[in-house]
Amino acid sequence: MTGFVSFVGSGPGDPELLTLKAVDRLKRADAILYDDLSSGPILAHARPGADLVGVGKRAGRPSPQQRHVSRLLVDYARGGGRIVRLKSGDAGLFGRLEEELVALREAGIPFEIVPGVASPFAAAAAMGMPLTRRLTARRVQFVTGHDTDGRLPPDLNLDALADPAACTVVFMGKRTFPALAEALVARGLPSDTPALLAEAVGGPEASFLRTTVAALAELLAGEIGPKPALIFYGSLAEGEGAP
């Protein structure tokens, strides 16, 4: 019999941010295919004997290609049982979810999607910082800073991203932020626009740096380090959380 796949959002890495539904699916899974950022204590919820298969992709490191991950997921599901595809944050937000859904649909394999806490919300909560502000930031926009070739995506809407009244969150943008910042300033974004670098959100090594767009671009033009990160800029409220 064909198996059933649960795409489970694991949140940013803190096991206490897992939903009850996520924990239930992990406990009942016969196999769990997990991202790098979904490993560690989160996998403690797996039942004894479940297959645990790492399929995570990290920038600058050897990683499985997406077609191989999709193929592996289909193969496990065709073997029957309950399969969890464990993705960091929320599976539908820059998580390559669509390619895997297409593979399952083409193979006739049923699935469900269990949402998770997205890392921008966890970072804002840790900082005691709302993402919207009643009179100044009425819009939040999420964007990837990393194309398939590792460069800044060429089709970004720079006019929208240069809006200083929006709260903009850049995923996977440490390497490309200097180029993005240069393009945004050229479109009219003030170089002293507030910015926040949030690294390893949800983990024990989490760190937060408040600065400006220009200063952050200068910082990231040097050594960026291996920690996964989010970059916030625009109308950012002052928070009372982590320094």
14, 87, 90, 172: which one is catalytic?
A: 172
Q: What is the DSSP letter of 98?
A: H
Tell me which residue has tokens 């903009």. Answer: 168
| Residue 36 annotated in active site | no
21, 36, 51, 57: which one is catalytic?
A: 57
35, 87, 127, 163: which one is catalytic?
A: 35
Q: How many Å apart are CA 227 and CA 198, to the nearest integer?
A: 10
Which H or E run includes 124?
A: helix 119-126
Mapped onto helix, strand or coil, the DSSP state of residue 145 is coil
Q: Are 107 and 56 in contact (CB under 8 A)?
A: no
167 DSSP β-pair partners: 140, 234
| Residue 35 annotated in active site | yes
How many of the other CB atoms lie within 10 Å of CB of 169? 25
| Residue 14 annotated in active site | no
Could you give the residue numbers annotated as active site? 35, 57, 172
